[in-house]
Amino acid sequence: MEKTNNIRTVAFFVMFTVFLILLLAILWPFYRPIAVAGMLAVLVAPVYRYLRSKLGSRSLAAAICTVLTVFVIVIPLTFLTAQLFSEVNEAARALSGMTIRNTLSHSLGIVTGHPYFQKYFPVLEKHLVGFEADILKSAYQLAEASAKYLAANTLATARNVFWFILEVFIVLISVFFMLKESDGILNNIKDLSPFKASETKQLLSKIKETIRASAFGSITISLIQGAMGALGFYLLGLPSPVMWGVAMAIFGIIPVIGPSTVWLPAAIILIATGYPFKGAALILWGGALMGSVENVFRPMLVGQGSRLHPLLIFFSIFGAIILMGPIGFFMGPIILSLTMTTAEFLKERYND
């Protein structure tokens, strides 16, 4: 009898493992929209709880939060993406046209015509003209390759657009049900967790802290800096302000690098090409105004939400991006935070 019970127990766990693997395989194609929906649900949870207490309806509160998500995130992101693609295409056409040639020729004329460089003119002219030819050749090849790639991948592009629309729909549906059933989901997680009740509570709290520190902290600050950078480029009459603003926002998310990777070289180029006032204004705008955003908003938005070392965050973000794609910006710090917290649990248990 005991042997039969052991066989049934083993069979039960084998079947459960098989079913679990099959379920994970079914859900795996949707891990990105599910992960995004989970993070959005955590971010809007305070708003949902407030509306639920006022309206007395979980469904209505979840629906309002989902609609707010569409208007606050999805629609602005769609317009931003469209504008970004437009400016990238314009930049690609400029690279293959005469605009870049005229700009480089003007820049070379200013540099080689400076009194300081007059005595080095023959050597400078030889190297700089060669450098200009290399840049023009590389730019033309890049533009030509990009055009061929887009023409050859029209069907793939259409498929990617369809999949993107589908993922957005899945995200919104998932946000609605995650908010509506949030209490039940949390109770199931606590019941099925292999950790102690106090440890499970601490892990869930750590997930919330990391998401809010990443979204309300790093992401929000980088978006503000990117918007300010785009505005600065626009006011100074520089090309493709949205494209460079997005680049500054992306660099602002990455620890150690920052948006100065974009605006500082641009300021140096402006000064070197005969626009010292624009260059100085861009340095002042980027260094004083954009730099102050970090100091003013980080204590308010991040607080003590993330005590992880910047180098660990740096590697976790890049590793997660390589493994998961753009969602790695969020998942990397979350996985790192959970791992470090679990390591603390292990340390406490061995010390006991």
Longest dimension (CA), the chain: 100
Q: How many Å apart are CA 240 and CA 232, to the nearest integer?
A: 11
Q: How many Cα atoms occupy the beta-carbon half-sphere of 142 within 13 Å?
A: 15
According to the model, what pLDDT value does residue 22 have? 92
According to the model, what pLDDT value does residue 129 have? 53
According to the model, what pLDDT value does residue 183 have? 84
According to the model, what pLDDT value does residue 317 have? 79
Per-residue pLDDT tens, the chain, 352 aa: give them: 566 667 777 888 888 889 989 988 998 888 888 888 888 888 888 889 888 888 888 889 999 999 888 888 777 777 777 666 666 666 656 555 544 455 555 555 555 555 555 555 555 555 555 555 555 556 556 666 665 665 556 566 667 777 778 888 888 899 999 988 888 888 888 888 788 888 888 888 887 777 777 666 777 788 888 888 888 888 888 877 888 888 888 777 766 677 888 888 888 888 888 888 888 888 888 888 887 777 776 666 555 445 666 677 778 878 888 887 777 777 888 888 888 888 888 877 777 6
Q: Which of 66, 243, 313, 86 is nearest to 168 (CA)?
A: 66
What is the DSSP track for 282-304? HHHIIIIIIHHHHHHHHHHHTTT
Torsion, CA 163, CA 316, CA 294, CA 286, rounded to 10: -70
DSSP state of 97: S
